[in-house]
Amino acid sequence: MMKNFVKNVLRREKGFTLIEMMIVLVIISILLLIAVPNLARNQEAANDKGCEATIALIKAQKTAYEIETGTKLTSLRIIRDEKYVDTIHCPDGKLLKITDLDFVLKTIPETPDE
């Protein structure tokens, strides 16, 4: 009688089998393989848009500085130091520099001669 009771208790016990757990892990792995590349692609697009917005802001502030002071801006550090902008870096860390006509992205760290 005790043997039957133990067998009945063990039969009623619910849980996941090893096969069921492996199937769940395979499904999760497939979903991750699909999702991770899409997230990386979207992050790159967001960084590009953030940089475009930063460039547009700096261009506007450059014009405001030149109108207010009557001098041509030679370095972005000037408008940063004068509090026209908070940063001269894109959100992804690239440094902005002025060329004769437009802005250029540099991936070098900021140096005193800028």
pLDDT at 113: 46
Closest to 74 measured CA to CA, from 56, 100, 55? 100
pLDDT at 69: 92
- Asked if residue 13 is part of any domain, the answer here is no
Domain span including residue 34? 19-106
- Asked if residue 46 is part of any domain, the answer here is yes
- Asked if residue 10 is part of any domain, the answer here is no
Q: Along the 114 residues of the chain, how does pLDDT read in single tens digits? A: 666 766 665 666 677 788 989 999 999 999 998 888 887 778 888 888 888 888 888 888 888 998 999 988 888 888 888 888 888 888 877 887 776 556 665 544 445 444
Distance between CA atoms of residues 77 and 54, nearest Å: 14
- Asked if residue 11 is part of any domain, the answer here is no
Q: How many domains does the chain have?
A: 1
pLDDT at 29: 94
- Asked if residue 5 is part of any domain, the answer here is no
